[in-house]
Amino acid sequence: MYQTDAASEEVGLTSSEYRLFRDLIYGKTGISLAENKMDLLEARLRKRLRALAMPSYAEYFSFLEHSDPAGVELQQMINRVTTNKTNFFREDHHFTYLSNVVFPDLIEKAARGERPERLRIWSAACSTGEEPYSLAMTVKEVFAGCPGWDIRILATDIDTDVISAGQSAIYHEEKTEDVPQHLLKRYFLKGSGSSTGRVMLRPEVTELVTFRQLNFLDPQWPINTHFDVIFCRNV
């Protein structure tokens, strides 16, 4: 086995350094790392040390504090700290409730002139897009007979890598195991050739969803919209 000089000179993350990173992460993102997560953080940040040819976590922390004025590397670190486990139609009873109760009620109120034919949904920690696209498919099914409605879904996450993945709308087939078969046939395109084993959502689904990077602790709050439904399940 061969190693680069930088890799061979790496030193581990100390307890005091872990506390520094933990405080920095909490202050910037609100993510609270437990005492027993030191090994996990060390493993996740090691690739950044190697990418920057830095032999120690102390040097990396100093770089974040003093040599990253635009926050580019800070965002790279945040992307590695966040946890992004999600699935299509996770906790499907939430979507059933929307289909059977919430959305029909909104449609009835609009028909009586009690509200506009307008629907705004926010997926507040959207990860790689499975949640907002599940919402979009649910909307397509319920509002199929309501062509006049103005419908938009905002999908936000602090992690820029997962935002990019969500915008691509391409997934491995095994990620769609929880998608009902009739929705899978209606809203997904199956890959072939070099894309075999992958699926892509159809434009009529993706056009409902807008992805944005968002830090809940941003002092300049960029959202000024009334939402009818907010999914805040992955925070």
Residues assigned a catalytic role = 44, 157
Picking from 165, 164, 173, 163, the residue whose alpha carbon sits closest to that of residue 199 is 173
Q: Which residues, in sequence order, are CB contacts of 18 under 8 Å at separation 6+?
A: 38, 41, 42
**Which helix (H) or strand (E) segment is 138 a member of?**
helix 130-142
175's tokens: 């990620």
Q: Residues 107-111: contacts with CB within 8 Å, 24+ apart?
A: 107/142, 107/143, 107/146, 110/149
Cβ density class 144-153: b for 16+ within 10 Å, e for less: eebeeeebbb
Instruction: Give me the sign of the Cα torsion angle 50, 53, 55, 59.
Output: negative
